[in-house]
Each structure stands twice: as C-alpha cells, then as structure tokens.
C-alpha cells in the first residue's frame, strides 16, 4: 500500500467512499470531479502506479479492470451510446493520483482526443 495514497486508503476502508463495484482485484467509484455525466474510476486493490512496470503476473489485474469497466458501463446504461476508457500516466497526462486507475467516461458525446 502506498502510505499516502488516497486510493489505497479507500481500498483499506480508511476513507469512506461510495464503492459501486468491488471484487478481489479492483473496485469502482465515481470521480469527484467528473468530466462527463458518467465518470467512473476503476482502481486495482493492489498499489501499482505505472504501466511500464507491468509484468506478466499483473496482466490479469489489468484484464479484470477492463472487465469491471465493461460491466459498469452496462450498469450505467452507456454501452449502446458509447463510452471512453482512459488511463493517464505521469504528470504530462494529467495523472493526479500515483496509483493506476482506469477512467470510464460517457453519458454524452465526448470531444475528440488529441
């Protein structure tokens, strides 16, 4: 666990949060500063920061995150209209928490990405 990591503290139950989904690999919460009507964060329970450190034993974790994202998109009713999955890595990308997380965005037409 990252000592000062807000996502690790949520996973450990130290910070209360409205967890929408949880399993043994990851959990899902709503973003507190949403960029779209639906803006969810899929967060692995295990502290992990950058994809460049991804090893074969963590491939299952990333797969589980994408599976949870698809399930939550269906639950939020945005599959038919479409949704975006985004992972920010590092300062230039806008990553605000140094713990891997997957953004699920939808509920309206999203602008083009650069």
Active site residues: 101
Length of the chain, please?
114
CA 39 – CA 46 distance, rounded (Å): 22
Whether 31 contacts 103, CB under 8 Å = yes
């Amino acid at each position: 666990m990252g000592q000062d990591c807000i996502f690790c503290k949520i996973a450990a139950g130290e910070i209360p949060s409205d967890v929408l989904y949880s399993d043994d690999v990851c959990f899902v919460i709503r973003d507190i500063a949403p960029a779209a009507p639906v803006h969810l964060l899929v967060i692995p329970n295990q502290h992990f920061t950058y994809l460049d450190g991804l090893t074969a034993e963590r491939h299952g974790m990333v797969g589980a995150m994408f599976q949870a994202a698809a399930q939550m998109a269906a639950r939020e009713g945005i599959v038919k209209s479409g949704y975006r999955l985004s992972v920010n890595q590092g300062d230039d990308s806008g990553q605000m928490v140094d713990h891997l997380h997957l953004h699920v965005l939808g509920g309206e037409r999203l602008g083009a990405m650069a």
